[in-house]
Amino acid sequence: MPYQKELNIALAAVEKAMKLSLCVERRLKKISVIEKQDRSPVTIADFGSQAVINMLVVEAFPEDVVVGEETAENLRNDQNLSNQVLELVRYAGLTATPNRIITCIGSSTESAAFSDRFWVVDPIDGTKGFLRGDQYAIALGLVEQGEVVLGVLGCPNLPARLDRPEDEIGCILYATKGSGTWMRIFQSKADLRVFVDSVADSRCAKFCESFEKAHAAHETHQRILASLGITTASLRMDSQVKYAAVARGDASIYLRLPRKKDYQEKIWDHAPGSIIVKEAGGEVTDFKGRALDFSTGKTLRNNSGIVATNGHLHRRVLDAISRVIN
């Protein structure tokens, strides 16, 4: 399998980060929540998860840069927060010091050659879902020359089967270029290859979108769905778990149209999930049918809107978008 060493490290890092996040979930009432500049909540789980992932990736690939969502500024300024993160990192099984953690998290702020090779990480994607005890993801991807070649999504609260929530909870979906998409049941360590669904009639398609109304234009999504003849209720989920849902056939379509016209999607919100859908047989583009361009920096400034489908419906969805928006 191509990128085998990278995949092994990525899976180990995400598994440790999942262990850490589940530890924090068990004591949610004691979480230290602060406000970032964009006023979205961030917790010790975000910092701890990013520290664990960055440490393992940088140790294995010292020449690589990791581009992540979090910065180390809050840890430098808050000793209590730093100590809580240190405790979590050690719980995840890594030897660390506060300075080592700050250095590792800070490494994600280094200038990356976005046209070359770099890693991208969202340590807790969907923090509001995390705080609700709902869906969130630990997302890690590898990009080379603007193309995502590896993606891992750790989904601690995702059932092995969405229609059977009483079954095993906790999945890791992963993919490397040309090797398909696989799902690992977290507790049993069973690995299964997964595929998008085969729905070709848009009227029979299941649709997913962001849980938070502030994150996506739900009303525009509904107009697009009406144009496609879709009448079933939307599956609303936080984070890149929506990509996982399309990749394994829980949904046929995922749309994301930001409410602000000038909003630029962050690369860590889409890189891992996009390859996981594509390697499962699906397709991912922006609203104009353009491939996502991960070579331009920390945002997808050359793209507008996100469309992920099972592939069979992609052209039809793009046509509906054109009818509704243009």
Catalytic residue among 43, 127, 176, 285: 127
* Helix (H/G/I), strand (E/B), else coil: 277: helix
Backbone angles phi and psi of 263, in degrees to 5: -70, 135
Label residue 173 left, alpha or beta by phi (over 0 means left) and psi (-120 to 50 means alpha).
beta
Contact yes or no for 308/274 (Cβ under 8 A): yes
Residue 258, burial from CB neighbour count under 10 angstroms (0-12, 13-18, 19+): middle
Is 97 a known active-site residue?
no
Comparing C-alpha atoms, which of 322, 252, 256 is closest to residue 292?
256
CA angle 8, 13, 18 (to 5 degrees): 125
Residue 209, burial from CB neighbour count under 10 angstroms (0-12, 13-18, 19+): buried
Contacts of 223 (CB under 8 A, 6+ apart): 324
Q: How far apart are CA 86 and CA 321, in angstroms?
A: 47
Is 231 a known active-site residue?
no
Catalytic residue among 46, 122, 125, 286: 46
Q: How far apart are CA 118 and CA 151, in angstroms?
A: 12
CB count within 10 Å of CB 9 equals 22
Contact yes or no for 120/269 (Cβ under 8 A): no
Q: Which residues are catalytic?
A: 46, 127
